[in-house]
Structure 1
Amino acid sequence: MRKIPQQQRSKELVARLVQATAQAIREHGMDKFTTHHVAEQAGVSVGSLYQYFDSRKDLVEALLEDVTLNLQQGLNALVLEKTTDLRQMVDRSVRFGMAFLRADDGLAIELVRNWYKLPTHNVVRLLQDTLLDFMRMYLLKNPLANNPERLHIRSFVIANSIVFTMIRAISEPNPFITDEELTLELIEMVISYLNA
């Protein structure tokens, strides 16, 4: 039987603890999950958990790093798609965002509901930077007539408008707007703003 090196076992255990954190948040909510829940879900002792993470906060930060990495991979795939049609680019981006938030058995929604308590600056920065990349690609073939030098400001406004509108709508217990209606309105908002 092949021996697995200690470093690899450690990485595997950390990954298992991060996934167990996600499951504990799904089952108990952000405010009520405990390190005991995570340890139990991962099949380890609480003492083993504390060898790798000092607190719940550290577990959540590690989970957010994983979420950010998954988001980055999806956004990178979007950026690599060969299209310079603004409506198509915005449509794909907004639909990707909605699908990302609705995926993973409610984990993203629970994280979104608690965004103000979490270190989400890396996620928001990633969204802004990706949107800026999209806009630069678009401008290579379709220059904006109105203030292209303010592109970084526009990308900031658009990214935050989309993200916080989605957060607000998705975290609503009884939404007054469907995901599709929201998606279409966000697409129109972005295109109108860029063409203003």
Structure 2
Amino acid sequence: MRKIPQQQRSKALVSRLVEATAQAIREHGMDKFTTHHVAELAGVSVGSLYQYFDSREDLVEALLQDVTDSLRQGLNTLVLEKTTELRDMVERSVRYGMAFLRADDGLAVELVRNWYRLPTQNVARLLQDTLLDFMRMYLLKNPLGNNPQRLQIRSFVIANSIVFTMIRAISEPSPFITDEELALELIEMVISYLNA
């Protein structure tokens, strides 16, 4: 039987612990999940868990890094699609964001409900940078007639407006707006703002 190197075993165990963290959050919520829940779901002792993570907060931070990496991969795919039509780019981005938040059996919704307590700066920076990439691609073929130097400022405003509007709509138990209505309004808002 082939022996698996320690580094590979460690990486696999860390991955299991991060996946177990996601499951524990789904099952118990952010406030009530414990390292004991995570260890049990991962099939390891709490002592083994603490060899890799110092606290529950470290587990959540590792989970958010995985979520950010997954989001980055999906957004990079969108950026690489060959289109320079502004409406199409904005619509695909907004719809991808909504689908991402609604996927994964409630994990994203629980994270969103607690975003203000989590280290979410990497996620926000990723969204802002991706939006800048989209806008740069658009400007290569369609220069803005009005002050393109404000591109970074506009990207910041748009990214944060979209993210916080989605967070608000998704984190409320019974929102007054459907995902489809929200997507359409966000698309119109972004396009109107860029064309203003």
Same fold (TM over 0.5): yes
Give the Cα separation in 1 of the matches to 2:98 and 2:141. Answer: 27
Report the alpha carbon displacement of residue 121 of structure 1 after superposing the two structures with TM. Answer: 0.1
1:93 aligns with 2:93: yes
Moved over 4 A (4+): none
Report the alpha carbon displacement of residue 2 of structure 1 after superposing the two structures with TM. Answer: 1.1
Aligned to 2:47: 47
Give the Cα separation in 2 of the matches to 1:5 and 1:45. Answer: 21
Q: Which amino acid aligns with 2:193?
A: Y
Q: Note the aligned Cα RMSD (angstroms).
A: 0.4
Aligned to 1:190: 190
SS in 1 for 2:123: helix
Report the alpha carbon displacement of residue 122 of structure 1 after superposing the two structures with TM. Answer: 0.2
Give the Cα separation in 2 of the matches to 1:34 and 1:95. Answer: 33
Q: How does 1:1-80 map to 2 (within 5 A)?
A: 1-80=1-80
Report the alpha carbon displacement of residue 135 of structure 1 after superposing the two structures with TM. Answer: 0.3
Q: Which amino acid aligns with 1:77?
A: T
Aligned to 1:161: 161
Structure 2 residue runs without a partner (length 5+):
none
Deviation by residue 1:102-127 (Cα, 9 ceiling, x = unmatched): 01111000000000000000000000
Report the alpha carbon displacement of residue 155 of structure 1 after superposing the two structures with TM. Answer: 0.1
Q: Which amino acid aligns with 2:30?
A: M
Aligned to 1:148: 148
SS in 2 for 1:104: coil
Give the Cα separation in 2 of the matches to 1:75 and 1:174. Answer: 28
SS in 1 for 2:122: helix
Q: Which amino acid aligns with 1:39?
A: A
Report the alpha carbon displacement of residue 78 of structure 1 after superposing the two structures with TM. Answer: 0.3
SS in 2 for 1:105: coil
1:122 aligns with 2:122: yes
Aligned to 1:82: 82
Give the Cα separation in 2 of the matches to 1:25 and 1:147. Answer: 45
SS in 2 for 1:173: coil
SS in 1 for 2:94: helix
Report the alpha carbon displacement of residue 146 of structure 1 after superposing the two structures with TM. Answer: 1.1
Give the Cα separation in 2 of the matches to 1:174 and 1:76. Answer: 32
Report the alpha carbon displacement of residue 145 of structure 1 after superposing the two structures with TM. Answer: 1.0
Deviation by residue 1:122-154 (Cα, 9 ceiling, x = unmatched): 000000000000000000101111111100000
TM-score by length of 1: 1.00
Aligned to 1:102: 102
Give the Cα separation in 2 of the matches to 1:146 and 1:108. Answer: 37
Give the Cα separation in 2 of the matches to 1:133 and 1:50. Answer: 39
User: What is the aligned residue count?
Assistant: 196
Q: Which amino acid aligns with 2:164?
A: F
Q: What percentage of residue pairs aligned between the two structures are identical?
A: 88
Deviation by residue 1:146-184 (Cα, 9 ceiling, x = unmatched): 111100000000000000000000001011000000000
Structure 1 residue runs without a partner (length 5+):
none
